[in-house]
Structure formats: C-alpha cells, structure tokens
Structure 1
C-alpha cells in the first residue's frame, strides 16, 4: 500500500510516526527545505540559534518534533522542497514539482497536513513596500534572524499578534506599537472560557504582560484608517482609538493579520466537501474527529482541516494515521485511539473561547472605501466588487465565483487565498446577505504557480 503524507509540520510528523510504527514506508512531502511547519520552522543550517531563543516556551516541544522528524526521514521516502500542485482522486495521483522537475505520484491513501496562512483585511495603503502579514514577519525572524524594519508596528488580532510582539521584543526589535482591533472588554468577557486552555492561556497572558511592561505602546479596540507612506516605503499607520480619537504611529514597516485560515486547496481538488464554520468565520473541509473525509482514501489533519493550533495538530495527525490504518484492515491500539480522541475533545472548548475572544473583524472588510485594493494581483477594488453585486453588465453576482468571472477577483498568483475572505464580506454586505451564502472561491490546479513549461507538459 502506497501512502502519501503532505506536510511535515506537527500534524505531518505525528502522522508519519504512526505509519512507520505500523511497518509502512510512506512518501513524505513538504514544500519547505525542512520540516517543522511554520510554528517550529527551522532556520537555515548556516544560522545557528539556540532553540530557547527561537521558540521560547515552545522550545521543548519544538525539539521533540524536530527529533522525531529527523529520526523518521530515513524510514520514509522523504521529499522536501517539493510542491504538490494538484491531486486527482479518480486516478489516485499527485502532481509535484521539485527543483524545476515535474513528477506524478500514485497513491492508495493520502493524509493532507497542509497547515494554515494569515487571514488579511485590506487597509488603504496595504500594498506599500514594507507591509507584510504577521506570519511573514515571524518567518523572517525565525529563518533569517531579522526584523522587517527598524520601527515595526504590529496590527490585527488573535494570539499570533501578541506572540510576535513578544518574540520581537526578545530579539531586541522593540515594536513601535501593538494595535489590536478587539476591545479589551470583549476579550475579558471570554476569560472564563480561555481558562480552559490551562498553561497555554497563562503563556498568552505572560506575552501580553511582558509587552506592556516593556513600555511598548498598546492600543485595543482600534479601527485602522490608512497605512501611510510613499511609493517605496511606509511612514506610519493612522487609526481611530476605541474612544474615537484619531491617532497616528510612525513606523517604517507594518505586519498585520486577523487570525488564520486553512490552506485547504488540495482538499478542495480532492473533492472534499466544505462547510462554513460560523465560530471560526472560515470555510473548512468536512471531516470527522478521526480525520476521515467522505472521499475514500483522503484524510485531513492539523490547521489545514480547521484552525486548532500546534498541540491539537499533533494529536490530529496521529489520529488520522490510525484512521487510515483502521480503514485498510490493520490492527490498531483501541486504547490509544480512545485516548487521542479524548484529548482532542478536551481542547475544543478552549479553541471555541479563543475564536469568540478574538473574532474576525468582518465589519472592517465590509466598510472598506471603494478605492481600496482588495485583490492586489488583478487590481480589483472594493468598489469593483460592490458594482459586481448590482445590475448588468458588471453584475449581478449572487456568489463569489460569479463575482470572480465579472471582476477577475482571485485570478492572480494567490488564487484568492488573500483577497477571498475580504471579497466575500464586501459582496455579502452589498447584497445584504449572510457571508455564508456568498460561498468561497473554488480551488483550481495548479494550487500555486508552476513554470509554464511544466503546465504545458
């Protein structure tokens, strides 16, 4: 039996660990030069940095994941630096690209551990050089040992905002400001639910306290107005405080993000059905607690199946591998299965509390000025989308894929990964309908850009 695991983050590592223990030699693919995922991403070998400095409180877990990863490489068909750009469940084939070379790979079962990416709300001026996502700023810190500027402002909401502020502080790159769009009172109302996270919650409080104690300017409940600057640089961020006061923070770079969204394009191409998760305010692929989908042979684990964090991803990866083994007639440890499912279930209340405490600010996307670029690849503005919601010839577009046909939203390099969520909010507001009724941009191969020569072949 040929099994493929896509992704070598926490979910992929634990999935492969179970498969190898069962006597299989899976094909293991990751787009990065090495495994660990984004959260435990390793720097290049030339950059030697202490794990505690790189991962802080997560150093012990990062070492454990890396140790397991390294021990498994020789027991698998390990393929780093490899992009899976298409999956066809009818022919049971994956299409991959590595070092400019295309390859087709047959499989009997596949576990997709594709991770997540930042969720962005466009802000006037967000396409200026010097503006990145929170995740990109964190990657620069981990892999290059550098900040994205000398005076970096951080804006958005969610745990990553405060984690990155703390990491920048520890690295000696004191943030110019932390701008959280969620009011403090709103977060405080969900404190009881957050307590269910135990040590995770207390670590989060520590990050917040450390940033405040260092004197970093912190504003909560803000409304961003514009990222200011010239064609070649950022000079500041203008915003309205929770009390209604207009403020400006000088900065030469800005990282922003409003939580995460699953990287689920491969699941989409595999024919997995999706549902709109009201709590996460995300479209997520449907699977059961074991990671099974309705598509035979396709299993999902980690944040690519719905945002749950690194701890939950490790458990989900192991459980998905056991589900695959069960479904192919191999004996599994029933006690182990039961323990994994109990631990996964215990994490759900905390995750729900996090989503409630740091909600996606849909109102910010819906209120974007008409001239604001939403799809930077195709230069589509919020006004273009509102026009698509109206009368012919530019509309009406009752759902997002029709708006794509009218406007080219999502036809660029990111295929709607960045612009899709905000575009859906704008279209829903213009039509006066719930965002779930607007749908999502359907995945298309290749899921990421490939050389034209390979596409032609």
Structure 2
C-alpha cells in the first residue's frame, strides 16, 4: 500500500479516501477504468470513518452505526480493482491533470485523464485568546485519537463551540468512559429563530432523530451551558483554566486540563485552489467553495470535486457526490456507457442542510478576533498585527504576506486563511469575495528537498516544480 504508483498515467486519479473518494474509486474501477486512489492517511475512511479497518474500539455501539457503515464501503473500494496508495502526499495538481505525489520518501509525476478531488473538510479556525496553549486541541484531533487509538480524556475536560461533531465527540468520549466536565455551547440564540423556516425539512431528514438522541445522551451526563458569548483559555506554560461569558452576561472560570474546540467544518480547498479551480465566497457557510456544475465538474476541464470539499453536506451527501462525479468520469471516457441519474438520492441526503448551516453559523466574535489574539499560528501574527498592516496599505491576504508572512508557514493558510479574509474584509469595509484568499501554489503540502531531488531530471519535471 505504500509503494509508488505503478504507472505514469491513469484514466482516473482520486485524491482522498473518505466517503466521496471511496465511492468514486469503487465506481470507476468497476467500470473498467484504470483508477488510482491516493490518500495521506495510514488507512481508508477519511475523518468520518478514520481507522475503520484498524481501530482498537471493537464494540460497535461505542462509535455508532454511522461509523461502522464505512467498513463495507472501504472494503468495496479495496476489492474493486483500483490501485490504492496510502501515506501518499499529493502536493501538486495542474491544469494538464498532472499530479506531483510523494510516497515513501520519493516523488513522482503522474498523469490522469480525469481527476476527482475528494479531500473533504477541515475544522474551521477558532481563534480565541489562549488557543495556542498546550492543552487546547480541536475536537477533530481528539476524535482522531479516539478512533485510531481508543484514547479519551481522563482529567478535567471542557468541550466548547457548536455543531454536530461537538455533540458526537462528547457522546463517544462518554461511551468510552472518558471525562467531560462541561460543554460550552456557543450557538447564538438568534440562530434558532433564523433557522426556524427550515425546521420541517430538517425534522424529516436523516439527521433529526439521531441528532436529538445524541444531544439527550450528552445532556443526561454532562452540564451544558448554552448561549456562551465569550471564551478564553488561560495558563502560564500550558492550559490551566477556561473563562466564558454566559448569555446573561455572567463571567465564569473553570479549572481545566484539556479544552476541545469546534466551530464546524469548512471545505479543504488548498489543492483545488492551487490547481486554479475557481472558488467563490459562500455567505451561508462562511467559507470558500468551488464553482461546480450539477455533476461536480469544476472550472478546469477534467477536474471534478466531490464530498465536503465541494461544500459541506455530510457523509451521506459525500457518498452520492462521489458516485455522481465517478459516473460523469465514466461517461466522459466511455461515451457509450450507461450511467444513472443519482441527483434524487443526493437531494434526499442534503435535506435539512440549510437548517444546520443557519443554526450553527458561528458568531462574529468567534470568527473575527481582536487585539493580541493569535490569528496565524505558524508565524505568531495577532489580529492587531493584521489590522496594523491594513492601516499602512495591505489590501488583501496576498499583500499581507509581504508585511507579516501570514499563510506562509507549514499549514499554508489552513489555520488562518478564513480568519485573515474576514478580518481584512471588515477592516476595509469590503466583502470577503472582494478581499479574496491566499494565492496558493505547489507544493501545497510540506515535502522534503530529498523528495524533490528524486524526481526525474527532465525539463518538463523542472518546469512543473518551478512553475508559477
């Protein structure tokens, strides 16, 4: 599974082995197309089904039926005839559908006739005072440890934020015998009224009954404080306490060893943006999403985007998006092939999404920090630093690089990009669309110089690495 790609060209290359990537891989391989699936994790599943084939948590009730449904889908992809490579870093993709990939310490370029990007979602930045202290983690990181190693917190722990994953993680931690002292719910009170027109669609969706049962499970075992309007972590060398302000204006402080933060997820756009795919600011989900047609095709011919990387929709929607993108690839490469119209299934899987998007729309104060709160963790740039740069002429994220090096660290803007865009937009009185995003280029993931040195020494390979 860790060997380099066997061929220099494939009919279809799928990037990402989450729900969308696994579904797309299975479909194209079964249709007889040479298919390569590349994923940077040790095994299939993405974040939703992480460690589905290797988790030490064997009691199915602890992680839930939704998690274990991934086992069959991962098995179908494995047995479908595709070439699957894990621990593979895709660091480049261009308009000619040439990919730069590193596996096992070496790099290579491969060509594809069609590319399906299924890189999924990442957690939204949650920049609060003290969020860089040891002892502060994202909920997604904690869930990764839970699924892959069976680890749960056993000291004073607080979960703070909003969104379905926060409640799911809380339930899973409790089922595995972990400790949670408090849940601090930052969902704005006004969001409940705003989401009300979409409540019926949500109540008849796949999520309602499961979500309600999960929240009841957590509330029966943990004190939940709702309407939190301010949040800060404090400590000298590591996290020692969490302070917060309730909806009534009362400030409280809790001693704590672990703080798990979550404010929803957003599309992982770095690879698609670096390839030149057009993106637009999504005002409902407050993030950048690719411009796609109904089949997931992007602004670059031959590149499709499926799953949460196309816009947050959840695991079931990701599956159908992956299958739709695969069927369009099959039709493009095998014009006589018969394909199905899967749009009704996708529509059903997306039912109720608007309710969740509106209900869990993060409050402004948790997206746009102030003062000395760190914005760019890699370069330790504060909100004040960004605003000072705007005051002396920085007009957008790319100009800000020259002033403060924001977005130029190892994460390549993943942890600060949305914050920088919204912070600069507010400061300049413009929309996020007008302010724009970082101009991303290959390599979009850190790789070693020795990996680049292992590339073929041709003019084409050199141009691929140094192209602008």
Normalised to the residue count of structure 2, the TM-score between the two structures is 0.90
Change (3 A) 1:297 1:54: farther
Could you tell me which residue of structure 2 aligns to residue 199 of structure 1?
A: 206
Could you tell me which residue of structure 2 aligns to residue 20 of structure 1?
A: 29
Could you tell me which residue of structure 2 aligns to residue 403 of structure 1?
A: 400
Partner Cα separation in structure 2 for residue 139 and residue 332 of structure 1: 40
RMSD: 1.9
- Structure 1, residues 240-270: CA drift from partner, whole Å, max 9, x if none? 0011000112210111121111112221122
Q: Counterparts of 1:302-313 in structure 2 under 5 Å?
A: 302-313=307-318
- Structure 1, residues 338-396: CA drift from partner, whole Å, max 9, x if none? xx111222344511111001002233333x331111111111111110011112xxxx1
Kept in 2: contact 1:262–1:303 (CA 8 A)? yes
- Structure 1, residues 117-139: CA drift from partner, whole Å, max 9, x if none? 10022111111111111111110
Could you tell me which residue of structure 1 aligns to residue 171 of structure 2?
A: 166
Tell me, yes or no, if structure 1 residue 246 matches structure 2 residue 251: yes
Partner Cα separation in structure 1 for residue 433 and residue 184 of structure 2: 28
Number of aligned residue pairs: 443
| 1:448 match: secondary structure | coil
Could you tell me which residue of structure 1 aligns to residue 217 of structure 2?
A: 210
Partner Cα separation in structure 2 for residue 230 and residue 277 of structure 1: 38
Change (3 A) 1:65 1:151: farther
- Structure 1, residues 59-109: CA drift from partner, whole Å, max 9, x if none? 45223223323323xx1121111010111223x311111111111111111
Partner Cα separation in structure 1 for residue 244 and residue 406 of structure 2: 27
Partner Cα separation in structure 1 for residue 251 and residue 37 of structure 2: 51
Change (3 A) 1:191 1:254: same
Q: Counterparts of 1:325-340 in structure 2 under 5 Å?
A: 325-334=330-339, 336-337=340-341, 340=342
Kept in 2: contact 1:182–1:358 (CA 8 A)? yes
| 1:142 match: secondary structure | helix
Kept in 1: contact 2:191–2:359 (CA 8 A)? yes
Partner Cα separation in structure 1 for residue 52 and residue 241 of structure 2: 30
Normalised to the residue count of structure 1, the TM-score between the two structures is 0.92
Partner Cα separation in structure 2 for residue 210 and residue 191 of structure 1: 24
Q: Which of the residues 49, 52, 66 maps onto 1:58?
A: 66
Partner Cα separation in structure 2 for residue 258 and residue 162 of structure 1: 12
Partner Cα separation in structure 2 for residue 402 and residue 185 of structure 1: 36
Could you tell me which residue of structure 1 aligns to residue 88 of structure 2?
A: 82
Partner Cα separation in structure 1 for residue 199 and residue 258 of structure 2: 31
Q: Counterparts of 1:30-429 in structure 2 under 5 Å?
A: 30-42=39-51, 45=54, 48-50=56-58, 52-53=60-61, 55-72=63-80, 75-90=81-96, 92-148=97-153, 150-184=155-189, 186-187=191-192, 190-191=195-196, 193-197=198-202, 198-214=205-221, 216-231=222-237, 233-334=238-339, 336-337=340-341, 340-366=342-368, 368-391=369-392, 396-429=393-426
Change (3 A) 1:148 1:213: closer
Partner Cα separation in structure 2 for residue 325 and residue 300 of structure 1: 15
Kept in 2: contact 1:301–1:313 (CA 8 A)? yes
Kept in 2: contact 1:12–1:113 (CA 8 A)? yes
- For structure 1, which segment, 27-36 or 58-67, has the greater mean C-alpha deviation from structure 2 after superposition? 58-67
Kept in 2: contact 1:400–1:441 (CA 8 A)? yes
Partner Cα separation in structure 2 for residue 116 and residue 351 of structure 1: 16
Shift of 1:181: 1.0
- For structure 1, which segment, 105-114 or 356-365, has the greater mean C-alpha deviation from structure 2 after superposition? 356-365
Could you tell me which residue of structure 2 aligns to residue 438 of structure 1?
A: 435
Partner Cα separation in structure 1 for residue 258 and residue 100 of structure 2: 37
Gaps (5+ residues) in structure 1? none
- Structure 1, residues 19-52: CA drift from partner, whole Å, max 9, x if none? 122112301111111111111111674x532261
Gaps (5+ residues) in structure 2? 1-9, 456-468
- For structure 1, which segment, 412-421 or 222-231, has the greater mean C-alpha deviation from structure 2 after superposition? 222-231
